[in-house]
Amino acid sequence: MRWAFGFLFFLLFCSLSNLVAQVTTTQGKIVLDQWLQNLTTQYVLTEEPPLSREKEQKEFIRGQELFSRSCIGCHQQSGQGLVGSYPPLVGHVPNIVNSKNGKEYLIDVVLYGLEGPIQVGTQQYDGSMPGWGKVFDDQQLVDVLNYVLSAWGNKEKLASDKSFISLDDIKKERKKVLSPSAVLALRPHNLSSSYVKKPEEDLKELIKNYDASHPGKGIHAQYWEPIPMEMYWNPKNFYHPPQSIKGEVSRSDCLACHKTVTPGVFHAWENSIHGNLEAIRKLSDQDPKAYKKKELAEVEKQLHSQGILKNHEQLKEVSCIDCHGSIGAQKIRHDVDLHMPDRVTCGSCHVRQFAESESERKQKWPHNEWPQGHPSHAVDWEANVNLAAWAAMSERAVAQGCDMCHYQQNRCDGCHTRHSFSAAEARNPLSCATCHNGVDHNEFENYMLSKHGTIFQAQAKNWNFDVPLKDAIAKGGYTAPTCASCHFEYHGEYSHNLVRKVRWAFNPTPEIAQGIKEKQPWYQQRKEDWIATCSACHSARFAGEWLETADQAIFDGLKVQEEAKKVIEALYKDGLLVGQKTNRPVPPPPEKDAPGAFFQLFWAKGNNPSHVERVYANMWEHDMIQHYKGVMHANPGGFTYSAGWSVLLERYTEIMDENTRLRNRPHESQLSTGDHTSLLSSKAKLLFGIIGSSAGIILLSSSFGKSFGNKRKKK
């Protein structure tokens, strides 16, 4: 190899000699420069990064630190802001600097503050931002502004590199003296041009669609009859007014009577917003509940359009007769007109919230993994009455336990408890506990035992649940998320549609797991939606990593469950389950027999279910779901020891033992078809054994008697 390197060096030396000879001419210099350039391009392996890139990286880090220290409380770590309170920086900041005079306006906002109504996309904001000119020096302003221009994908949306801020830009704008309201006047006019006003909800159309889609008694109506209590769970179909009070009653009669007859109901109403509308109007703008003034105006506008209130007339009260009779009525016939309020009753005033909750029905799964709209509060009664196992239960008093949670489709007081209907109460995780607990939906337990829940238990006394969810962190003092703050949120917007981020649904299935494993767009987008939610408190990286590990834990649980399922189905197919050939009654209609099925959690007769089937039913419907919800709510005991994985393996072990035992025993099918001779032979052997034993005992006794007699004679 040495001779090769020597030869190359010789050629190089000769080339250099020829080039040096040409250097005296202009053309020779050009040739030399070109050669050196080519040599550098081909043989230089590394080069130091440009100073500008290193400077940019340091500036980004400094800006990130400043943003995290001073801006994150309002605009959030994700840059998404808080809808209605603080505008997003993601995507919006590039729109500003790409506008005419937008770069100067952006600097002025940070220097001098901003006050007054603005619009970002479809959302309006009417607040104030303090100026930071006296807090940050020029270099700090450069750092934090350029961080905002670079972060969250904003950099790719900038028109040019000239959009970035320099020290000269800051110094130029510092020469101005502006008030926050004066800065507002400088806002580029085109920033709100993309605003498209949402059409007002059509109440009549909402009610029409609600009535048309309501299942009533469901597809299994012929198999069950409602008990009296069910008039309260589904008043639309089952409620009838009491006949104890006849004739007309007035608005004032209701209050006078119920103050004595049901004082608890009366005082709950008396202390509610419904009973104190004037107090809402008198709230100062700084009061946490001041947003209710706007909501009251929405209600009044709706009542104006319905002709219930005259134009510009204010709503004086919301009393018993408005909800249990008709809105604005002065008299009703107690034994004829009285009704139990349902979604339509509440929605007739609270149209926006009604529309939001009904919009859950529009959810479509990419490959029909679940029916449209499922699972959601908007179809939970439908999910109840269309379930064969529920309709098959003859124990209707027990079955109503399902109704008591699956009635949100019918009424709003599952969250907004009668008769206070408090939004603050509904925002508290304790309100979710009635339904979201237990072995197949233990979200509440998992939340309370997670770090989020322990912070809630320790700190909630300092939180203000009166503020709307969008202000929970900035104004409500929340230091951890709640059920509502996570599930009502969607990219900074809060609404009564809780399913826009649903991925795994109520319980995991192999079909859903496949979509998540393959990173199908529908599932991947919803993962990104959750990361955006979690980024209000965590880094996007942390949130993404947690979801990845949580998904993997669920895959692992499903693998165990599916293996056990194959064993149970094979035992059923082969007729090996205990009692399968002799003592397996069919379940009551409309349910049909199946191994380890849902109905076996609520019905049993003879050997249906057999023990091993019940173990499997518990496994897939209880333990697997607890495993999933434990890991998704970050409760370590909920998906490792106390519930979830450890219990899944316990069930798995029991199922495998039973499989081995059942497949190695003389089972009923053999006895009933080919082993009667064997059985008779066994019985004959037993009989002869008994006879032989008896004879032996007699002979032994005889011999013993003779021996004993002989001994006596010898004496």
pLDDT in tens, 397-414: 999 999 999 999 999 999
Amino acid in position 454: T
Over residues 115-136, mean pLDDT: 82
| Spatial distance between the Cα atoms of 425 and 179, rounded to a whole number of angstroms | 40
Asked if 67 and 144 touch (Cβ cutoff 8 Å), the reply is: yes
What DSSP state is assigned to residue 469? Answer: G
Q: Given this model, what pLDDT does residue 82 score? A: 72
Mean pLDDT, residues 8-20 taken together: 41
Report how far apart, in Å, the C-alpha atoms of 666 and of each of 22, 578, 661, 669, 678 are. 104, 11, 10, 8, 11
Per-chain mean pLDDT for the chain: 86
pLDDT at residue 449 in the model: 97
Averaged pLDDT, 575-587: 97
237-359 CATH choice from 3.30.70.3340, 3.30.420.40, 3.10.450.50, 1.10.780.10: 1.10.780.10
* CATH number corresponding to 418-659: 1.20.850.10
pLDDT at 617 over 70: yes
Query: What percentage of the chain exceeds 70 in pLDDT?
Result: 84
Strand partners, 250: 331
Q: Residue 19: its pLDDT value, please?
A: 38
Rounded to an integer, what distance in angstroms lies between the CA atom of residue 433 and that of residue 449?
Answer: 13
Distance in angstroms (rounded) separating the CA atoms of residues 36 and 42: 10
CATH number, span 200-236+360-412: 1.10.780.10
Report DSSP state, residue 634: T
Examine domains 200-236+360-412 and 237-359 and report if their fold is the same: yes
The pLDDT, as a whole number, for residue 459 is: 97
pLDDT tens-digit series, residues 72-92:
878 887 888 876 678 889 888
- Rounded CA-CA distance 390/558 in Å is 26
Cβ pair 558, 513 in contact under 8 A: yes
CA–centroid distance for 697 within its chain: 78
- Note whether 248 and 334 are within 8 A (CB): yes
Residue 46 pLDDT: 36
d(CA 317, CA 275): 6
Q: What kind of architecture, by CATH, is found in domain 50-186?
A: Orthogonal Bundle (1.10)
SS3 content of the chain, % helix, strand, coil (to 5): 55, 5, 40
d(CA 441, CA 462): 29
Rounded CA separation 642/416 (Å) = 32
Q: In a 3-state reduction of DSSP, which class is residue 384? A: helix
Q: Tokens representing 460?
A: 């909630």
Instruction: Report how far residue 135's alpha carbon sits from residue 542's, in angstroms, rounded to the nearest whole number.
Output: 31
The pLDDT of residue 122: 67
Global pTM reads: 0.72
Domain locations in the chain as residue ranges: 50-186, 200-236+360-412, 237-359, 418-659
Give CA–CA dist 372/213, Å, rounded.
12
